[in-house]
Amino acid sequence: MEIKGIIPPILTPMNEDESINLEVLKSLIDRQLAAGVHGIFPLGTNGEFYILSDLEKEQVLQTAVETVNGKVPVYAGTGCPGTRETIRLSKRAKDMGADVLSIICPYFAAISQNEIADHYKAVAKAVDMPIIVYNMPARTGANIQPGTIAKLADIDNIVAVKDSSGNFDNMLQYIEQTKGKDFGVLSGNDSLILWNLLAGGNGGIAGIANIYPKTMVSIYETFVAGDLARAREIQDSIRDIRSNFRFGNPNTIVKRAVNILGYPAGPCRAPFNYIPEEGLAALKKTLEKDTANGLC
């Protein structure tokens, strides 16, 4: 399976009591498919995997698999702090019909590069599925070093890495050190998607696609078509919406934006749900301006 394009880490919509709203999840996925996304990624950071129960994770994944119905690959987030639990959840995702696993670096406890490598090797050996390594040091406390990724890229079913470090040089080294291998590098930072592609990467897992799916897809499609000037214009067009991340948890900002646009995604689960009044006003102003300028 070729790992490429724009893959939205789909929101997990909730009712006001914070229960999962599976009917709205179906509609959110349908909106992404209509925009031409290249995959659907439930149980990512924007999907609030960190605060869902095992049963809720299964409900979300099953709904995603059934709604996508083979149109694009389904990327399931199955990373847990421990190796044993990651293997268990990954096997369950395989049984439920996921196509690819996205596995975040083990988190909370301090971890060495050797332990990171051993973790991914054990999961890859236990679960015969394509695996994307997910690097997000701001949340896990550990950056997966380029040398570690180079070693993991030699394992047949470890097929890509998503880099959410926001450090372009780190992502560039991932690309350089896996050159010539059947291995993809995806940007987890939406502002770096075009630069990832220009450097030889494969696209991005793009949280902003929850807000503007067609716009995010067009970054990739315009690049592939060879119109680099237009691709740059589209890439730059999301700067203002991303600037609103300063007002709170990016997941909260994205979910609130989707609600404002008329898609009832509901609240983020407490306590990760606060936006100050000035932030909410700024977000509404940005969305009004962006939609007037054709972002969608």
Catalytic residues: 134, 162
* Pair type for strands 131-135 and 100-104: parallel
Q: Which long-range contacts (CB under 8 A, 24 or more apart) does 120-127 make?
A: 120/152, 120/155, 120/158, 121/152, 121/155, 122/83, 122/87, 123/83, 123/86, 123/87, 123/90, 124/155, 124/156, 124/157, 124/158, 126/87, 126/90, 126/91, 127/87, 127/90, 127/91, 127/94, 127/101, 127/157
In the beta sheet, which residues pair with residue 186?
162, 203
Q: Which helix (H) or strand (E) holds 7?
A: strand 5-7
Structure tokens at 289: 């301006």
